Amino acid sequence: MISMDTKTIDEAVELAKFEQKIANEEKIEPSDWMPEAYRKNVIRQMSQHAHSEIIGMQPEGNWITRAPTLRRKAVLLSKVQDEGGHGLYLYSATETLGITRSEMIEALQSRKAKYASIFNYPTLTWADIGAIGWLVDGAAIVNQISLQRTSYGPYARAMVRICKEESFHQRQGYEIMYELAHGTPVQKQMAQDAMNRFWWPSLMMFGPHDADSAHSGQSILWKVKRESNDFLRQKFIDQSVVQIEVLGLELPDPEIVWNEERGHYDSGPIDWDEFKRVINGGGPCNYQRIKHHKKAHQEGEWVREAVRAYRLKQQTKNVA
């Protein structure tokens, strides 16, 4: 009984210290005491972020061998490679919370962990590569910039590095769109079509409206998330409209109109049924993405086994 009481008191003290740090905008570091729910919340968000980077390699990877020029090929390969790198930074930062990468991969493959739903859409034409770089990375950057101030130290630091690297991702996507939009009518149509398809899923990337967001409240209180879904979404819409006008493409949403009073663009309703359907496995590529990941992982198994066996043999040799 006594020990339990002490434990409760200790925990209360620790919790108070923890909350003080959050209030003071101090970062939480791996070895710090933290409430179990905070740990879980950060693991959920970070691993989901990491999985998104990794699964996100696939739709763009689909065009690496078909990139139309050598420069585009080099750019696209290095971009997709960067996504892998970002996945690595994020897995690495998540591991500081006591979960292993294999546990995270297992959660991804068994669909316990989610990833950004947008990657469940197919890349059908070259313009899709432009649209993804511009809109999807653009939306991700809006979100990630705010996450540079997240309360978990390793996450914040990974975000700083990732934001620095991602600025070229969005630009290369926009450059592709610009070239197409100013090319032949066929190319312009290709660009318009890609933007129309990726626009709505990009808006959905920010998650449900604030009122309907399951995890948002606590995440904001703990400063894991720094801005609300709707705030960030609005920011993205506002910045994109100008960019669409420069491309000379038609707006993907006829209801987009400047609202003088709000100082923002108004826009049409998002199809949340589609969002739910895709995030719960009903998108065109959900099955394919996980299958691809599992296949690569399984085919790599013998390589990882060999590495382990070789390492053990070397250790035995060194001891002997």
Partner 1 sequence: MNQEHLAVYEVFVRSNRGLDHKHVGSLHAESPEHALMYARDCYIRRSEGVSIWVVESSNITASTESDVENFVEPMDDKPYRHATHYVLPEKVKNM
Partner 2 sequence: MNSIQTNEENKTSLFRFVVALADDSVILSHRLSEWCSNGPYLEEDIALANIALDYIGRARMFYQYAAEVEGENRSEDDLAYLRTEREFTNLIIHELPIGDFAFTMVRQFFLDVFYHLYLQELVKSKDQTVAAIAQKAIKETRYHLKRSEPWIRQLAEGTTESRDRILLAIDELKEVVGELFDMPSWEIELVEAGIAVDRQSLKPAWDKHVQAFLSASDIDFEDTRLQITGGREGIHSEHLGHLLSDMQYLQKTYPGMKW
In this structure, the number of other CB atoms found within 10 A of the CB of residue 291 comes to 12
Q: Which is nearer to partner 1, 148 or 243 (CB)?
A: 148
Q: Binding of partner 2 at residue 78 (CB under 8 A)?
A: yes
Q: Which two tokens stand for residue 298?
A: 């399984």
Q: How far is the CB of 258 from partner 2 (least distance, A)?
A: 33
Residue among 179, 181, 198, 216 nearest 75 (CA): 179
Residue partners of 34: CB distance under 8 A and separation at least 6: 18, 28
Given 22, 97, 158, 159, the residue binding partner 1 (CB under 8 A): 158
Q: Binding of partner 1 at residue 8 (CB under 8 A)?
A: no
Q: Binding of partner 2 at residue 299 (CB under 8 A)?
A: yes
Given 33, 258, 287, 310, the residue binding partner 2 (CB under 8 A): 310
Q: What does the per-residue mask of binding to partner 2 show for 58-77, with x meaning CB under 8 A?
A: x--x--xxxxxxxxxxx--x
- Give the range of 50-58, 165-173, 232-240, 250-258 binding partner 2 by CB under 8 A: 50-58
Q: Binding of partner 2 at residue 248 (CB under 8 A)?
A: no
Phi, psi of 264 (to 5 degrees): -140, 170
Contact of 222 with 15, CB cutoff 8 Å: no
Contacting partner 1 within 286-305 (CB under 8 A): 297, 301, 304
Given 165, 227, 266, 274, the residue binding partner 1 (CB under 8 A): 165
Contacting partner 2 within 89-128 (CB under 8 A): 91, 126
Q: Binding of partner 1 at residue 311 (CB under 8 A)?
A: yes
Contact of 216 with 207, CB cutoff 8 Å: yes
Residue 157 per-residue DSSP state: H
Q: How far is the CB of 236 from partner 2 (least distance, A)?
A: 26
What, of partner 1, partner 2, none, does residue 220 touch, CB below 5 to 8 Å by kind? none
CA–CA distance, 84 with 100 (Å, rounded to integer): 17
CA–CA distance, 208 with 197 (Å, rounded to integer): 19
Q: How far is the CB of 240 from partner 2 (least distance, A)?
A: 23
> How many Cα neighbours within 13 Å face the side chain of 202?
26
Residue partners of 286: CB distance under 8 A and separation at least 6: 120, 278
What, of partner 2, partner 1, none, does residue 139 touch, CB below 5 to 8 Å by kind? none
Burial class (CB in 10 A: 0-12, 13-18, 19+), 38: buried
SS3 for 34-65 is CCHHHHHHHHHHHHHHHHHHHHCHHHHHCCHH
Q: How far is the CB of 80 from partner 2 (least distance, A)?
A: 6
Parallel, antiparallel or unpaired: strands 257-259 and 264-266: antiparallel
Contacting partner 1 within 212-241 (CB under 8 A): none
Q: Say which residue the tokens 């009122």 belong to.
A: 211
Q: Which is nearer to partner 2, 126 or 206 (CB)?
A: 126
**Size of residue set near partner 2 by CB under 8 A:** 47
Q: Binding of partner 2 at residue 35 (CB under 8 A)?
A: no
Q: Say which residue the tokens 């740090």 belong to.
A: 21
Q: Where on the chain is the footprint of partner 1 (CB under 8 A)?
A: 29, 31-33, 78, 81-82, 85, 88-89, 92-93, 95, 100-102, 105-106, 158, 161, 165, 297, 301, 304, 307-308, 310-311, 314
